[in-house]
Amino acid sequence: MKIGFIGVGKLGKDAAEVMAEKHEVIGYDITEVSPENFKMVPTIKDACQDRELIFIAVPTPHDPAYDGRYPTAHLPNKDFNYQIVKDVLTEVNKHVNKDQLVVLISTVLPGTIRREFIDLIPNGRFIYNPYLIAMGTVKWDMVNPEMVIIGTEDGSMTGDAKILLDFYYTFITDGTRYEVGTWDEAEAIKIFYNTFISTKVALVNMIQDVAEKGGNMNVDVVTGALERSTYRILGKAYMTAGMGDGGGCHPRDNIALRYMAEELGLGYDLFDAIMNAREKQAKNLAQRLVLEANKVNLPIVILGKAYKPNVHYEDGSTSILTGHFCESYGSKYKVEYDPTEPIKAVYLLGHMGKHHDYEFPEGSVIVDPWRAYKTEKNIKVIHYGNTRL
């Protein structure tokens, strides 16, 4: 098929490259991009010309203050900023016709398409199709999605929905399930999926806090029992206690849902509690780091400044949030991240499964919230969340 892809950024580029393995793809972005297997064009008009499917994967950003690297629970509730999507849809509408299907991928709150977007694209056909992809694994996620989410006006399996599914079946894993709903239902599936993960992470990290404060308890024994309880409790994903939920999507999605809860007058706000828990858990970890640093008169070093392993993005980094609280608690030393040369310090292992080959100087202290680093001679290792005697 002939595919146009608008928004070839940190997620869109990999997604479009997967499509280009089977289809003829051209891309457009406001920044210079060098994809592996398709060409870029200079205008949105060019990205729409003679294309059967036109994917739009542009950002719906929050105010930078709501990023998640620093405290957000005290800030007023805000929706996403939809101006980029509106501008792109308005421009796309000038260059499409009813023979072309416009597919929006961007994350939005339930009700946004019906309220703000659909009137901007009368010239083309429209479908909503948010992705469940993660930084660092985009190409794998595209081929092996947990589900394909499709939103149509009335929630029915339209001809356009079938065209889109037939397109995906050319490269996704056989047997992948699909979920079709109204625009509003598809919007909700995507954003509640993300915040469900945040909820799981906050809950298992609460168990870690209980272990730390109550004693005689290894958090992994508790979470292990829970993750194997698949009859009433879901599976093992995100059931290892450690650092808080991060990234460019999950924290901000919880913030946007706080806004939605307020706007709809629900009378309660679970999402505020999730974000508060995330920050309190980072504070508790920071207190332990400061305590250990003061005991041995050493600086604090956090290994893993990015929000997850194998990426360089710092959006929503819980490591940065924890470092912020270390400094706010009056640590004698400025927190350092990922030093090029190892120094004698109190180290926080910010990423699970990393740093095992790092050369820690003798006399250092390692705080491991993942409880995976083995004790070394002349280095104190604290398995945070395991207080068994």
Residue 389 lies in a domain: no
Do 176 and 196 lie in one domain? The reply is no
| Mean pLDDT value across residues 81-91 | 97
pLDDT band of 331, cuts 50, 70, 90: low
- Report residue 300 as tokens: 């604090």
Using the 3D structure, point to which of 116, 147, 181 is the last residue of a domain. 181
Instruction: Assess whether 6 and 155 both reside in one domain.
Output: yes
Could you tell me if residue 82 is inside a domain? yes
- Phi, psi (degrees; rounded to nearest 5) at 137: -135, 25
Boundary-marking domain end, from 151, 181, 211: 181
Same domain, 254 and 221: yes
One domain for residues 111 and 213: no
Has residue 186 been placed in a domain? no
DSSP category for residue 301: E
Per-chain mean pLDDT for the chain: 93
> Of 126, 131, 133, 196, which is closest to residue 158 (Cα–Cα)?
126
Q: Quick one: which of 366, 361, 336 has its CA closest to 349?
A: 366
Q: At 330, is the pLDDT very low, low, confident or very high (cuts 50, 70, 90)?
A: confident
Q: How much is the average pLDDT of 374-381?
A: 86
Does a structural domain hold residue 91?
yes
Number of domains in the chain: 3
- Cα(288)–Cα(249) distance, integer angstroms: 28
Residue 137 above 70 pLDDT? Answer: yes
What DSSP string runs through 332-381?
SS--EES-SS--SSEEEE-STT--TT--PPTT-EEEETTS-SPPBTTBEE
pLDDT at 66 over 80: no
pLDDT for the residue numbered 201: 92
Residue 247 tokens read as 């990234």
Strand order in the sheet with 336-337: 336-337, 300-303, 346-349, 365-368, 380-383
Q: Tell me the residue range of the domain where 233 lies.
A: 191-274
Domain end marker among 181, 210, 237? 181
Please write the tens of the pLDDT for every residue from 231-256. Answer: 888 788 888 999 988 887 888 888 88
**In this structure, which amino acid lies at residue 41?**
V
* Same-domain status, 199 and 333: no
Provide the CATH number for the domain around residue 314: 3.40.50.720
Instruction: State the pLDDT at residue 121.
Output: 98
Q: In which band, very low, low, confident or very high, does the pLDDT at 356 lie, cut at 50, 70 and 90?
A: confident
Q: How far apart are CA 306 and CA 314, in angstroms?
A: 4
pLDDT single digits (tens) 142-197: 999 999 999 999 999 999 999 999 999 999 999 999 999 999 999 999 999 999 99
Q: What are phi and psi of 151, to 5 degrees?
A: -115, 125
Q: Are residues 196 and 176 in the same domain?
A: no
Amino acid at site 6: I
Contact 282, 318 (CB under 8 A): yes
Task: Find the angle CA(288)-CA(291)-CA(297) to the nearest 5 degrees.
Answer: 135
Q: How far apart are CA 179 and CA 148, in angstroms?
A: 6
Given a contact cutoff of 8 angstroms between Cβ atoms, the answer to whether 60 and 108 are in contact is yes
